[in-house]
Chain A
């Protein structure tokens, strides 16, 4: 008999084929040309527009929207890509309600911003569907640069360097490029194999040789890279995960949310992905929401997200919290895990309510238990495998200005570098700006 959401334990195939398809369909489907025209007409073409200030890559938003409005979506896409070569992915994954759209004057005016993200997708999809690459490379400089990590930061940096005429080798430990675009972002935000298609399209600039399965610290060393290249850009993201430090964390079916998500993103067939009947997700950020929502979409009967602080303190935006709620995820705030209960495998999690006090967060006496046959830990990622000799700031690589590390000739950006939000778009901005600085430094020297 086929499984259902009520089947106990961790099983696959809880839903029918059609339901999987519907659940993991495009969260915000592309605008039709008519919808795009109507949406674009709402933009006021602001002076020194606040939305541009709010965009970490400073895309000229009023200009690209005007280009859409006047029937030139490919010109619009070029405007976007000139600032943000991953404008296609950003259009899908940016928390626009906290960035550009939050600052849009029409949000101020009537609580309804211009649909900047969806318009950006309209433009970039149009250009990418037309094929070809919109930029050409400058004359070769003869410089060789190593970029480690093919996530958004590494890709943006590599592209900008290639455009400037440098030769780039792009290393990544994983079998596929894309970083969290490929292994992390929620499936319904980037459907249809977009992450790989985007990387292929980006590499169309030429001059970037991609070396997957090459881990820094295992297959290559920073010293080796420095010896063979004129500059090195580190964009290795946050490969480690934080520990829960709750009793019983080692029981079976207690898992890091990022691993689960990566498995899901790589699945050929979602009905083969097993998920618990009662799922508990611990954490309050984007990763927690994504794990919770996707568990629910895979057919878990109950999914509860538990965060130790208040709702307002959650890393996940209000829009993401609403998305989770709309999919039937229960959000519990102000509670922290005490212990994982169960014989060998998890059966329940015991939580204590928390109190915000002057000296920090304290556990109260009051506790409760949640039934769970699967627990996902989503309490943050951390830097792992940073080469020796690099100064750190907190738990990330210390950088000054456009990504300069403590070592000459070595730059860093994206999640692995200190400063900035851990967002795709921020990673792109940092990669691009480091590339400009590397270029200026190398060409200034010669």
Chain B
């Protein structure tokens, strides 16, 4: 049996599945249920300064994007940080941590950009016995207008400064949560690193408007005839999050900086992908908001089943394994030549591959009157679009031409050796270098 125990910047948890700072971790009742269900840790819903708490809207907070069968693919929210008194949250954190000493208890924080404010709250969090803090520099709405959240996260100098204050004022590990609403995520992670962060976590939600009510002519969610941008999350954001995690993981300036992967994690497989790209663990929000806490059982069982199959006994056996394989386009092997192949037995003759290739790609699929679909190797550029649109999994595959075979499209023999754009004759830069 694979060992799923996780050690993230010294914070131990029985598995790498944490709940992200959000409604699922907003109070004792939820967090106890989460721990009972099997979650390895939580990042408590973001706390603010002492004093009257923020207030949330009293109309809808969420907008949604659906796939077939109303499957929730993307969620958008305009919620703020916790709207419960600091006092109450701290008391609850303390009792839950006392009752579940083996689980990770990290507390998310967002206070004004003054050292004193951070110092004050850090001291109070320490008293709870929490394992660490996460600095919320990511929230894209509501708080940023008050000079917090992504307003800080978008300015690398502020990220570094606040991180440094925190490191100077607590013995707890400091995780810096990054906003994706920035052009180059590495600027923020480098700043956190310079400030002394123990880790970064990402992504927070993405600025978004999910939809427009065409009767009211107003963005959704609609509050009394008006809407505002919110933060987007859920399965739809996973590709963006994976890329940002990978960018940081392979950045020489932050090499080795621990990463907690967040954004669209829904299944064990999503988690394994984040971890393969360098995340030390993952955090989940939308998936539990959609299906409830019980999904962690699938994540635990699925991850350990996969690890057993692969022969991985601990998480570190595969963490970061995919990072060396993330490269820049110019280094991809242009001598790797493939052709689409349609399995006639599996084909159900829907013609989608034909429509896609004929209308929008390279006219490389032939169609007979009996609806037999066959790839024309002399036209196929191996774009893979047909594979992506085919409703039957595994029906279309990409066959690699062996070195020495002739590519019927170009008439050229497939070279055995690797060859990329940097040395390609069509590359003006390559010629200049000669």
**Could you list which residues of chain A lie within 8 angstroms of chain B, going by C-beta atoms?**
37-38, 41-42, 44-50, 105-106, 108-109
B276 nearest CB across to chain A (Å): 32
Chain A residues with CB below 8 A from B350, complex form:
44, 46-47, 49, 105
Closest to B346 in A: A109
Interface positions of B from 348 to 393, Cβ below 8 Å from A: 348-352, 354-355, 367, 371, 391-392
A50 vs B370: C-alpha distance in the bound complex, in angstroms?
A: 10
Closest 7 CB pairs of A and B: A47-B351, A47-B355, A41-B68, A46-B350, A105-B348, A105-B350, A108-B348
Q: Are B352 and A50 within 8 A (Cβ)?
A: no
Closest to A42 in B: B68
A55 nearest CB across to chain B (Å): 16
A106 vs B70: C-alpha distance in the bound complex, in angstroms?
A: 20
Q: Given A47-B355, A105-B350, 4 more contacts at CB 8 Å?
A: A41-B69, A46-B352, A47-B351, A49-B351
B359 nearest CB across to chain A (Å): 9
B398 nearest CB across to chain A (Å): 21
Closest to A110 in B: B348
Chain B residues with CB below 8 A from A41, complex form:
68-69
Subset of 25 A-B contacts with CB under 8 Å: A37-B70, A38-B69, A38-B70, A41-B68, A41-B69, A42-B68, A44-B391, A45-B352, A46-B351, A46-B352, A47-B350, A47-B352, A47-B354, A48-B351, A48-B367, A48-B371, A49-B350, A49-B351, A50-B371, A105-B349, A105-B350, A108-B348, A108-B349, A109-B348, A109-B392
Chain A residues with CB below 8 A from B391, complex form:
44, 105, 109
A46 vs B351: C-alpha distance in the bound complex, in angstroms?
A: 6
Chain B residues with CB below 8 A from A44, complex form:
350, 352, 391
Closest to A34 in B: B70
Q: How many A-B residue pairs have CB under 8 A?
A: 36
Chain A residues with CB below 8 A from B354, complex form:
47
A44 vs B353: C-alpha distance in the bound complex, in angstroms?
A: 11
Chain A residues with CB below 8 A from B352, complex form:
44-47
Chain B residues with CB below 8 A from A108, complex form:
348-349
Closest to B356 in A: A47
A370 vs B69: C-alpha distance in the bound complex, in angstroms?
A: 51
Closest to A48 in B: B351
Contact of B349 among A37, A38, A42, A50 (CB under 8 A): A50
Closest to B358 in A: A47
**Could you list which residues of chain B lie within 8 angstroms of chain A, going by C-beta atoms?**
68-70, 348-352, 354-355, 367, 371, 391-392
A360 vs B350: C-alpha distance in the bound complex, in angstroms?
A: 41
A44 vs B355: C-alpha distance in the bound complex, in angstroms?
A: 12
Closest to A38 in B: B69
A212 vs B388: C-alpha distance in the bound complex, in angstroms?
A: 58
Chain B residues with CB below 8 A from A49, complex form:
350-351
A108 vs B391: C-alpha distance in the bound complex, in angstroms?
A: 12
A72 nearest CB across to chain B (Å): 12
Interface centre among B68, B350, B352, B367 (most CB of A within 10 A): B350
Chain B residues with CB below 8 A from A109, complex form:
348, 391-392
A109 vs B69: C-alpha distance in the bound complex, in angstroms?
A: 19
B144 nearest CB across to chain A (Å): 34
A63 nearest CB across to chain B (Å): 13
Closest to A107 in B: B348
Closest to A49 in B: B351
B102 nearest CB across to chain A (Å): 43
Chain B residues with CB below 8 A from A47, complex form:
350-352, 354-355, 367
A50 vs B69: C-alpha distance in the bound complex, in angstroms?
A: 24
A108 vs B371: C-alpha distance in the bound complex, in angstroms?
A: 13
Chain A residues with CB below 8 A from B348, complex form:
105-106, 108-109
A108 vs B349: C-alpha distance in the bound complex, in angstroms?
A: 9
Closest to B351 in A: A47
A45 vs B348: C-alpha distance in the bound complex, in angstroms?
A: 13
B25 nearest CB across to chain A (Å): 33
A311 vs B121: C-alpha distance in the bound complex, in angstroms?
A: 82
A105 vs B391: C-alpha distance in the bound complex, in angstroms?
A: 10
A252 nearest CB across to chain B (Å): 56
Chain A residues with CB below 8 A from B68, complex form:
41-42
B154 nearest CB across to chain A (Å): 37
A217 vs B350: C-alpha distance in the bound complex, in angstroms?
A: 50
A282 nearest CB across to chain B (Å): 40
Chain A residues with CB below 8 A from B349, complex form:
50, 105, 108
A44 vs B392: C-alpha distance in the bound complex, in angstroms?
A: 11
A108 vs B350: C-alpha distance in the bound complex, in angstroms?
A: 10
A42 vs B67: C-alpha distance in the bound complex, in angstroms?
A: 11
A47 vs B352: C-alpha distance in the bound complex, in angstroms?
A: 6
A114 vs B160: C-alpha distance in the bound complex, in angstroms?
A: 57
Closest to A46 in B: B350
B96 nearest CB across to chain A (Å): 40
Interface centre among B351, B352, B354, B367 (most CB of A within 10 A): B351
A44 vs B352: C-alpha distance in the bound complex, in angstroms?
A: 8
Chain A residues with CB below 8 A from B392, complex form:
109
A340 vs B267: C-alpha distance in the bound complex, in angstroms?
A: 70
A42 vs B350: C-alpha distance in the bound complex, in angstroms?
A: 13
A373 nearest CB across to chain B (Å): 51
Chain B residues with CB below 8 A from A38, complex form:
69-70
Closest to B392 in A: A109
B65 nearest CB across to chain A (Å): 14
A48 vs B69: C-alpha distance in the bound complex, in angstroms?
A: 25
A387 vs B257: C-alpha distance in the bound complex, in angstroms?
A: 93
Interface centre among A49, A108, A109 (most CB of B within 10 A): A109
A106 vs B392: C-alpha distance in the bound complex, in angstroms?
A: 10
A111 nearest CB across to chain B (Å): 11
Closest to B349 in A: A105
Chain B residues with CB below 8 A from A42, complex form:
68
B191 nearest CB across to chain A (Å): 45
Chain B residues with CB below 8 A from A48, complex form:
351, 367, 371
A127 vs B38: C-alpha distance in the bound complex, in angstroms?
A: 51
